[in-house]
Amino acid sequence: MKDKILVVDDEREIADLVAFYLESENFKVITCYSAQAALEQIASTQFDLAILDIMLPDINGFEICKHIRESHTYPVIMLTAKDEEIDKIRGLMLGADDYMTKPFRPLELMARVKAQLRRYKRYNQPSAAAVKDSSLIIHGGLVMNVKTHECLLDEKPLVLTPTEFSILKMLCEHKGEVVSSEELFHGVWKDEYYSKSNNTITVHIRHLREKMHDSVDSPKYIKTIWGVGYKIEN
């Protein structure tokens, strides 16, 4: 079955160009030129990934991303016409998995789409090896089920995106050790590009802390080792 991708952009030429490249890679694409049309599709269709433009005339891409995250975990890639850090941070805080700044190279977007889908499928269909090693990770009130990709915190469901689950799982697997942002980045995104100015991990850690009601100053779970990385104490 073909992976189904939602493309939302009010600039028809860009939306149609993205759709053309995706369809040439054998993806099934549904293109929307307005936020309202996108919301209707999200309500009625099960997607595998969404590509959202931030600047839309009716409802911005941030609100669509927020709406998706209320009931879906599939990857979201944001498109922004402005190379402003605040837009990227806001998108990540709302649950986006990646972002690209216009103008972008279509082939780079295709590579990111494929990378996000690979990770999403690993998240939803864990390997037999991973299940065999350990299906449960337990730390204090935190319980992560690797087999079902469910998470509980103090016996209550903790809803995480695939990226958040992967980061938290990696920290738990290295409990007591400091894991650098670069190591986390490569562990989650594999061969994708990382630079010291990249704050993607920082934003996802912040989002995890908010969901876990964890404190930066007196952390119960994720501790920041300034200038080095993050760790979960034994």
Q: What is the pLDDT, as a whole number, of residue 28?
A: 96
Question: Which carries the bigger pLDDT value, residue 142 or residue 92?
Answer: 142
Q: What is the pLDDT, as a whole number, of residue 123?
A: 62
Taking only the tens place, the pLDDT of each residue in 190-234 is: 766 666 556 788 889 999 999 999 888 888 899 999 888 999 987
In angstroms, rounded to a whole number, what is the distance separating the alpha carbons of residues 26 and 32? 19
Q: What is the pLDDT, as a whole number, of residue 40?
A: 95
In angstroms, rounded to a whole number, what is the distance separating the alpha carbons of residues 32 and 134? 42
In angstroms, rounded to a whole number, what is the distance separating the alpha carbons of residues 188 and 165? 10
In angstroms, rounded to a whole number, what is the distance separating the alpha carbons of residues 170 and 57? 40
Name the range with the highest mean pLDDT among 16-25, 120-129, 135-144, 216-225. Answer: 16-25
Query: At CA 94, angle to CA 92 and CA 95, rounded to 5?
Result: 65
- The region of weakest confidence among 20-29, 35-44, 198-207 is 198-207
Dihedral sign of CA atoms 172, 173, 178, 181 in order: negative
pLDDT at 45 over 80: yes
Question: Which carries the bigger pLDDT value, residue 165 or residue 188?
Answer: 165
The candidate with the shortest Cα–Cα distance to 165, out of 225, 212, 215, 220, is 212
- Per-residue confidence band for 118, with pLDDT thresholds at 50, 70 and 90: confident
Take residue 69 and report the two structure tokens written for it: 């995250």
Q: What is the pLDDT, as a whole number, of residue 191?
A: 60
pLDDT at 55 over 80: yes
Taking only the tens place, the pLDDT of each residue in 61-86 is: 999 999 999 888 899 999 987 666 66
Numbers of helices and strands, H then E, in the chain: 9, 11
Q: What is the pLDDT, as a whole number, of residue 119?
A: 79
Q: How far is CA 47 from CA 3, 154, 179, in A?
A: 8, 31, 33
Helix (H, G, I), strand (E, B) or coil at 51: strand
How big is the chain, counted in residues? 234
Taking only the tens place, the pLDDT of each residue in 87-113 is: 667 777 778 888 888 888 999 999 999
- Per-residue confidence band for 128, with pLDDT thresholds at 50, 70 and 90: very low
Residue at 122: amino acid letter: R
Tell me which residue has tokens 């082939």: 107
Indicate whether this model's pTM tops 0.75.
Answer: no
Q: What is the pLDDT, as a whole number, of residue 84?
A: 63
Taking only the tens place, the pLDDT of each residue in 161-187 is: 888 999 999 999 898 899 998 888 888
pLDDT at 50 over 80: yes
